[in-house]
Amino acid sequence: MGTDKLGTSLPWVDAIADSFPRYSFASFHVDQLPALNALNGALVVDDLKGVPPLGFRIDGTTYTWTATARGIEVVVGDERAETLVELDEATFSSYLNELLTASGSFRTERATMLRGTVDTWRRWEPATRALVSGRPIYTDAVWDTLIGLDGEPLDLLRRFPADGDRDEMRHFLATAGYLHIKGVYSPEEIATFRDEVEYARSQTAPGDPFSWWSLNADSDEVVTRINYLGRYSKVLQELCFEPRLTDFARLANPNFRVCDDRLDGPMVFIKSSNIVKGDGDLGWHVDDGIGGHPVLCPLIQGGIQLDYANPANGQLMVLAGSHRYANHRHQWGEEGNLPVAKLETEPGDLTLHFGDVMHSTPPPTGQAAGRRALYYKFSEEKTFEWVPPGCHYNDALFHADAAGAMSARAATAQAVNDRV
């Protein structure tokens, strides 16, 4: 596995952090943050109205961030901080550098909530990203930017033919953050891919460190995702370098390389009905949700659709254009006027989406869902320089607990029972 068994830190993870600026806790708050607020404060004013103050503490020194009509102001101390986070300077720097998110800092035990919750800290995160990076916060104002090459609003459910105009495809992907291409693979190819997936499914079992498992309403363990499919299938491994897949993925960036041997390699995602525990149904998220944005992104997920995708069988949903913004976490049904695109695909279709576009795979409405989709990641050379073969940045962040066990994304019945 990519995660170190001792659960300490990995040299390559430390090297990544060391290659980014190390912030002094005091000088950042005294000098840099006021300057950033003067530059970018207007980006956060509306977002932070009425949000309670947030404090950070390192070695007994605390600074509190308070929303104002000009952005934020910083004061020494924590008397007004309804949310108070304790961490060290290395974690604070990683948070500012987007190597860790609020969730990632808390889940990997690099930060402690002295007051409030990780959710109340996370409420400030898009504003933090906007202040530090100048990236605006995602709102329904995004509709004004979802414009095609012809100057007209994008049809968010547009399906491009495989021989469609590449410039239009490239623009749609860059603007909306996803792309749906019809009939890239033949029925015969899809039949072969399905057979290979089912063989891989027959070979994996709960406890496999490269699979995710969930629990359904009948208390059955079902596999949700199988990573590094090359362990079981030469065909699916060689598909990493299939020219059509590569060419379409490079619409996002002509220099992209396929992550054939890292970041989980080629994998299959399998939807099942009535999942009650585990990651069989994923809410709105980004693929760098616990950290690593500058390491992993931009990243493209190329999805070869093996089955029909629709509400009954499970489908991919995307918040159009969100990859270009700092994002809040949203709940299903609470998206308001944001542009939600619900993609309905057929076997042989190819979907592309950026890892940092907000996306979701909600519970199927049917009782016998079984949608399967192969996914292949493509990223820039920097990702290959930073993340070694067999490793994933996110997994390597986790520490061992007191018993020496690693936090895992795979959910077995025993693991589920242990959490209850």
- DSSP strands (E only) in 265-402: 267-270, 275-277, 282-285, 299-305, 317-319, 340-342, 350-354, 359-361, 372-379
Domain finish residue from 91, 118, 133: 133
- Per-residue pLDDT reduced to its tens digit, 120-140: 999 999 999 999 999 999 999
One domain, residues 189 and 205? yes
Q: What is the pTM of this model?
A: 0.91
Residues composing the chain = 420
pLDDT band for position 32 (cuts 50, 70, 90): very high
pLDDT beyond 50 at 418 = no
pLDDT band for position 349 (cuts 50, 70, 90): very high
One domain, residues 218 and 116? no
pLDDT band for position 14 (cuts 50, 70, 90): confident
Whether 22 is covered by a domain: the verdict is: yes
Provide the pLDDT for residue 264.
95
Provide the pLDDT for residue 178.
98
One domain, residues 242 and 285? yes
Mean pLDDT of 355-369: 96
Whether 2 is covered by a domain: the verdict is: no
Rounded distance between C-alpha atoms, residue 142 and residue 122, angstroms: 22
Q: What is the mean pLDDT of the chain?
A: 91
pLDDT beyond 90 at 269 = yes
Quote the percentage of the chain above a pLDDT of 70. 91
Rounded distance between C-alpha atoms, residue 74 and residue 30, angstroms: 8
β-pairing verdict for 160-161 and 178-182: parallel
Specify the DSSP class assigned to residue 345.
B
One domain, residues 185 and 67? no
One domain, residues 226 and 373? yes
Whether 223 is covered by a domain: the verdict is: yes
One domain, residues 127 and 165? no
CATH of the domain at 268: 2.60.120.620
pLDDT band for position 207 (cuts 50, 70, 90): confident
Upper half-sphere CA count for residue 83 (Cβ side, 13 Å): 18
Provide the pLDDT for residue 398.
58
One domain, residues 182 and 230? yes
Provide the pLDDT for residue 281.
92
pLDDT band for position 15 (cuts 50, 70, 90): confident
pLDDT beyond 90 at 118 = yes
Mean pLDDT of 293-314: 97
pLDDT beyond 80 at 198 = yes
Upper half-sphere CA count for residue 258 (Cβ side, 13 Å): 23
Domain finish residue from 133, 163, 189: 133
Q: Which amino acid is at 311?
A: P
Whether 3 is covered by a domain: the verdict is: no
One domain, residues 193 and 303? yes
One domain, residues 384 and 289? yes
- Per-residue pLDDT reduced to its tens digit, 152-165: 999 999 999 999 99
One domain, residues 96 and 226? no
Whether 4 is covered by a domain: the verdict is: no
pLDDT beyond 60 at 390 = yes
Whether 92 is covered by a domain: the verdict is: yes
pLDDT beyond 50 at 347 = yes
One domain, residues 84 and 193? no
Query: Dihedral of the CA atoms 367, 373, 379, 385 (nearest 10)?
Result: 90
Rounded distance between C-alpha atoms, residue 67 and residue 373, angstroms: 44
Provide the pLDDT for residue 419.
31
Phi, psi of 179 (to 5 degrees): -155, 140
One domain, residues 119 and 157? no
Whether 392 is covered by a domain: the verdict is: yes
Provide the pLDDT for residue 396.
65
Phi, psi of 386 (to 5 degrees): -95, -40
Q: Across the chain, how many H-helices and E-strands are there? A: 15, 19
Which structural domain, as residue segments, surrounds residue 86? 11-133
Provide the pLDDT for residue 10.
60
Domain finish residue from 112, 133, 154: 133
Instruction: Classify each residue of 349-358 as buried b or exposed e, where b means 16 or more C-beta atoms within 10 Å of its C-beta.
Output: bbbbbbbbbb
CATH of the domain at 22: 3.30.1050.10
**How many domains are contained in the chain?**
2
Whether 367 is covered by a domain: the verdict is: yes
Rounded distance between C-alpha atoms, residue 355 and residue 394, angstroms: 13
- Judge contact between 375 and 174, C-beta under 8 A: no
